[in-house]
Amino acid sequence: MKIGVIGLGYVGLPLARLFGTKYSTVGFDINKERVAELKKGNDSTLEVENNVLQTVLKDVNDDAKGLFCSFETKDIEDCNYYVVTVPTPVDKNNRPVLTPLYKSSETVGAVLKKGDIVIYESTVYPGVTEEECVPVLERVSGLRFNVDFFVGYSPERINPGDKLHTVEKILKVTAGSTPETGKKVDALYASVIEAGTHLAPTIKVAEAAKVIENSQRDINIAFVNELAKIFNLMDINTQDVLEAAGTKWNFLPFKPGLVGGHCIGVDPYYLAQKAQELGYHPEIILAGRRLNDSMGAYVASEVVKLMLSNDIKVKGAHILMLGLTFKENCPDVRNTKVVDVVKHLKEFGIQVTIFDPWIDELEVKKEYGLIAHTKAPENTYDAIVHAVAHKEFSEMDLSLFKSSNAVVYDVKGVLSGNVDGRL
């Protein structure tokens, strides 16, 4: 058994590392710089600790267990299991973008052999694996689906930045294009996943299970975001309300906030797109998305109101934005909604300084056209917005960065001491 993992990002690398502890594994990525850093035993995503990565790396592509990283297609030619872990984003109109899946399927199709199994982990709407990816594999390889090669699906459950719930400690859903393939896919994951597996009856069931996981969270967060807006109008502390309600055993502990990232802020659109193609308009799913997507503008307007109430001139004011990543203690800036807050503040003529010790400054500049800093500034500001709950910010003395009548707005609702506004 030899495994090829296609895509070495937040999902692919932890999985490839895990497979490499037991099988001969090739991690493939088209990004040469990414492959080069991994070959040196360094992971810039911080998902796999460098010392852990280095213990499983090998320098040659042989049949011994371990992980060999490459950007050359020839190095995955002799694999018999291929696991595709590429991203599935949406475009500016929130329509699913399947291009990475098509391209990776072409890559695998070019080396596909009789008896091989291709497993997809990317989050999609039900039907994509068999209706979109399989035809590409057939066209490029010239092989017949479920005759010459087979397909599986096992949705990723990576939680970026979470060092407690790592890939091997999260139960894995599995599925196959035939009953026998399902058993093989399930056995493969069961051999490395400590938490166990759940074999779904079909690939579509597994695809649907994944996409509703994040849609459910999105809707629940939208609910508490709406509550926050209502309670703010009533001058009630939302965090106090949630703490009180949380004393009931079956109350779900969701908190208000900015919903970004590659999963919760994206996946509901995949399910909505498929529903609309079938003639059904998903009201609750899209309502949740609209509300959560509006929170950047809401936070910006609340900050401006606080500034006006403190007699701070808004136009030309200076604001310090603490955090840019989509979640705390993680360098991932994909689909971060903090940029929405920055955008709307700038529309008021405000100058925004972004400080985030976790980010890659060049990546932020390339992805969003924003200047961000990894070192703490030395200036004072008219307002401070605590956007991401990085551990470093909880240890900061914010008074050092405040002008005489500055205001502090806590998006995450976790700061202690004198805070002028919370979400």
- DSSP calls for 178-234: SHHHHHHHHHHHHTT-TT-EEE-SSHHHHHHHHHHHHHHHHHHHHHHHHHHHHHHHT
Long-range CB contacts (within 8 A, 24+) of 12-15: 12/83, 12/85, 12/86, 13/38, 13/43, 13/45, 13/47, 13/48, 13/53, 14/47, 14/48, 14/158, 14/166, 14/167, 15/83, 15/85, 15/121, 15/156, 15/167
> How many CB atoms sit inside 10 A of residue 98's CB?
20
Q: Which of 69, 133, 263, 330 is catalytic?
A: 263
- Round the CA-based radius of gyration of the chain to a whole number and report it: 23
Half-sphere exposure of 169 (CA within 13 A, CB side): 6
79 annotated active-site = no
> How many CB atoms sit inside 10 A of residue 157's CB?
20
For 397: left if phi > 0, alpha if psi spans -120 to 50, otherwise beta; the answer is beta
The CA-based angle 400-359-96, given to 5 degrees, is: 130
Report the amino acid identity of residue 304: V
In whole angstroms, what is the distance from residue 233 CA to residue 301 CA?
13
Question: Which one, of 93, 79, 67, lies nearest residue 14 by Cα?
Answer: 67
Long-range CB contacts (within 8 A, 24+) of 139-144: 139/109, 140/105, 140/106, 140/109, 140/110, 140/112, 141/109, 141/110, 141/112, 143/112, 143/113, 143/114
For 323: left if phi > 0, alpha if psi spans -120 to 50, otherwise beta; the answer is left
Read off the tokens for 207. Answer: 């695809």
Torsion angle defined by CA atoms of residues 177, 182, 188 and 191, in that order, rounded to the nearest 10 degrees: 160
Read off the tokens for 368. Answer: 């969003």
In whole angstroms, what is the distance from residue 256 CA to residue 105 CA?
38
Positions marked active-site: 263
